[in-house]
Amino acid sequence: MKRSAWHAVVVSLGLAVSVPQAAHAHRGWLLPSATVLSAEQGWVTVDAAVSNDLFYFEHQPMRLDNLQVLDPSGTTVEPENRNTGRYRSTFDVKLESNGTYKIAVVGDALFASYKLNGETKRVRGTAESIRKEIPQGAEEVQVTRNQSRTEVFVTAGKPTDRVLQPTKNGLELAPVTHPNDLFVGDEAQFAFLLDGKPAAGVNVTVIPGGIRYRDQLSELKMVTDGAGRVTIKWPAPGMYWLSASQGGGRGPGAAAAGTLEQPQRRAAYSATLEVLPQ
């Protein structure tokens, strides 16, 4: 019961992928109708969901409160026709300009857990609100800051680089190979940044979509090198889900127990990448 209530809170933020305690593998993703377009003034429609299997909307919709769409000039554009249903959210983006758009759902929140009379309780919010919510006599207070970023890139015409510039906040992808220029058999190189600096030793997982129709996950696992980089050779065309996370007691630099002043931090990143046939 408690677990599902907690989960509802998390899902409502679109943050299921960054729940530190979650042993279950819920995955948040954005799936666009196309990643490469040649139409002038084209549109993409995007499914946004949190699910077990990729890319099937079978669990929870991803909430769109923290949805950001950047056009090729880096200007925020407003998505249209937002809808959140039982299993997925959808929205449309009109591609007014040629170049690469970035569509992201970004989360940054504090979570605290504590024990009161032997019962574990959880709250989320800001440092201030959490301070007020935790009652006197609470024990084993643990505070975690969860940063998450779920992205997809879409290009009309020629790929451009403006939206690939990092925000320098949290864990981010800094593509060396353009994310809308991925072909089977080619090697793609991606760098990961934590607060804008190369993130070494980060575990990166790449899972091909279509899980429902195969027995094995067929994931590719790698660890970023000293420059924060990984190289991926695409085994087959299709949609892939790339994810990486750091901290939260899992990776290097994890604190033993977080406090309100110094929360344990977990930064997660995921992206949907389309690999085309040659």
Partner 1 sequence: MRITCSIAVGALLGAPAAAADLNLKIEIPRLTVAEYHRPYVAVWVEGKDQKFAGNLVVWYDLKQKNREGTKWLKDMRQWWRKSGRDLEMPVDGLSGATRAPGEQVIGFDDGKEPLQKLPAGDYQLVVEAAREVGGRELVRLPFQWPPAAAQTLRAQGEHELGAIALEMKP
Which residues contribute to the site for partner 1 (CB under 8 A)? 36-40, 42, 157-159, 181, 183, 276-278
Q: Say which DSSP state 183 is in.
A: B
Rank residues 67 and 154 by Cβ distance to partner 1 and give the closer one.
154
Q: Which is nearer to partner 1, 184 or 255 (CB)?
A: 184
**Minimum distance from CB of 40 to partner 1 (Å)?**
6
Q: How far apart are CA 112 and CA 143, in angstroms?
A: 4
Helix (H, G, I), strand (E, B) or coil at 205: strand
Q: Which is nearer to partner 1, 36 or 176 (CB)?
A: 36
Taking the CA atoms of 146, 77, 157 and 159 in sequence, report the sign of the dihedral they define.
negative
CA distances from 194 to 116, 229, 232, 242 (A): 35, 12, 20, 16
Q: Which amino acid is at 85?
A: G
- Nearest approach, Cβ of 69 to partner 1 (angstroms)? 21
Q: List beta partners, residue 124.
A: 111
Q: Are the beta carbons of 245 and 267 closer than 8 angstroms?
A: yes
34 vs 127 by CB, closer to partner 1:
34
As measured in angstroms, the least distance from the Cβ of 72 to partner 1 is 13
Output Rg (C-alpha) for the chain, integer angstroms. Answer: 19
User: Smaller CB distance to partner 1: residue 42 or 249?
Assistant: 42
User: Which residue's CB is nearer to partner 1, number 118 or number 277?
Assistant: 277
Residue at token pair 């940063």: 147
Question: To which residue do tokens 């690469």 refer?
Answer: 100
Q: Per the structure block, which two tokens stand in for 107?
A: 């989360």
Report, in Å, the least distance between residue 214 CB and partner 1. 24
Could you tell me the smallest distance in angstroms from the CB atom of residue 183 to partner 1? Answer: 7
CB of 212 to partner 1, least distance (A): 25
